[in-house]
Amino acid sequence: MGLTRQGVLIVLVVCVVGLLASGALSAPAWQPNRPVEWTVPAGTGGGADQQARLMAPLIEKYRLSPQPFIPVNRPAGAGAQAFLWMIDKTGDPHTILITLDSLFATPAAQVLRKRDGSRFTWRDLTPIARLLLDHFVLWVHAESPYRTLDDFVRAAKAGPPGRLKMAGTGSKQEDEIIMVLLEQAWGAKFTYVPFPGGGAVAAALVGKQVDFTVNNPIEAVGHWEAGRVRPLAIFASERVRVGRWAEIPTMRELGYPIEYQMLRGIFGPPQMPAEAVAFYQEVFRRVLDTPEMADFIERGAYTKAYLTGREYVQWLERKDALVRSLMERAGWLVR
């Protein structure tokens, strides 16, 4: 598949970037000798896309790779298209993937078959590194009567089932999983309204179309600064000790031990050579240390969580088990 949509433009980008990056880096064992195609399993403008498009130019700016990283969106089927694309790239050291939790949820909610007929799981891919953990915050409108989580819980329990409406991204994915966790913890029933992306979800809350969201911090921070939304609690194990985020109590503190964090990690295709894995691990470790990433991490209240090797795989196993058990409780698991 020589010709891609980018055609001429890629060549242009490559030329300019190649000039800038030439003569960089003391040679490690393996280096890319053509542009690295970086698959984003979601549409343009979403969280995963934003991160890839932020990190790609940073890799160039700090000359971390002799070849550019080019993000390509493959959004179909909540990640399905991107995951199977990676399977087709078996052994290719010039292809990587940035993930969100659809890596676990999509193959659990539908039977995703590879070309040989067997079912796809994340174990088919080569884990490279965990980069960040993205948090979830319970947001209500700033003019709503719910000043604390207790106010909100009382309203949730009191009203007729489904009176409180929540907007979330997609269906049977992390937002709706968290809502089901809340329903089960409080014995309440909410109405879930799916939207195509986190930006639209935040807008629905600001426009008072719905009563609450569990937007990621980066999606809602602008509206918070403008005083339009109010955070009630964060679904993290401990408070995020950065700036204003430290004000937000955890669900655990408030008596509801519900935690959920989303993986922002990097994977390669099946059977990616070990030297290539080592190269990407080094690139991403250094990207995370750039001042630009530090700003981004602070603004979006991310947890920097660089992890590789066996520990990363063990963490992935625990994460997968968690997502599957939550989906089973919600009745969405397809065996």
Question: Scanning residues 16 to 35, which ones bind other proteins (CB under 8 A)?
Answer: 16-17, 20
In the complex, minimum distance from the CB of residue 111 to other proteins, in angstroms, rounded to a whole number: 10
**Which residues ranging from 282 to 321 are in contact with other proteins (CB under 8 A)?**
292, 295-296, 299
In the complex, minimum distance from the CB of residue 135 to other proteins, in angstroms, rounded to a whole number: 17
In the complex, minimum distance from the CB of residue 272 to other proteins, in angstroms, rounded to a whole number: 21
DSSP assignment, residue 35? Answer: P
Q: Which of 206, 233, 251, 262 binds other proteins (CB under 8 A)?
A: 206
Phi/psi region, residue 257 (left: phi>0; alpha: psi -120 to 50; beta: rest), is beta
DSSP assignment, residue 136? Answer: -
Name the nearest CA neighbour of 234 among 130, 126, 98, 135.
Answer: 135
Q: Which is nearer to other proteins, 87 or 307 (CB)?
A: 87
Return the CA Rg of the chain.
Answer: 21
Q: Which of 192, 256, 306, 315 binds other proteins (CB under 8 A)?
A: 192
Stretch that binds other proteins, among 130-138, 191-199, 238-246, 316-324 (CB under 8 A): 191-199
**Which residues ranging from 62 to 81 are in contact with other proteins (CB under 8 A)?**
68, 70-73, 75-78, 80-81
Stretch that binds other proteins, among 90-98, 207-215, 301-309, 317-325 (CB under 8 A): 207-215
Question: Rule CB under 8 A: is residue 11 a binding residue for other proteins?
Answer: no
**Which residues ranging from 159 to 188 are in contact with other proteins (CB under 8 A)?**
162, 165, 170-173, 176
- Residue 37 β-bridge partners: 70, 95
Kindly report the number of other CB atoms within 10 A of residue 4's CB atom.
11
Q: How far apart, in whole angstroms, are the C-alpha atoms of residue 235 and residue 239?
A: 9
Determine the residue type at 117.
G
Phi/psi region, residue 243 (left: phi>0; alpha: psi -120 to 50; beta: rest), is left
Name the nearest CA neighbour of 234 among 252, 257, 216, 250.
Answer: 250
50 Cβ contact partners less than 8 Å away, ≥ 6 residues apart: 218
**Which residues ranging from 116 to 155 are in contact with other proteins (CB under 8 A)?**
none
Q: Which is nearer to other proteins, 130 or 223 (CB)?
A: 223
**Which residues ranging from 232 to 261 are in contact with other proteins (CB under 8 A)?**
none
Question: Rule CB under 8 A: is residue 10 a binding residue for other proteins?
Answer: yes
115-120 CB contacts, 8 Å cutoff, 24+ apart: 115/87, 115/88, 120/83, 120/84, 120/87
Length of the chain: 335
Stretch that binds other proteins, among 90-98, 126-134, 225-233, 273-281 (CB under 8 A): 225-233
Q: Which is nearer to other proteins, 285 or 299 (CB)?
A: 299
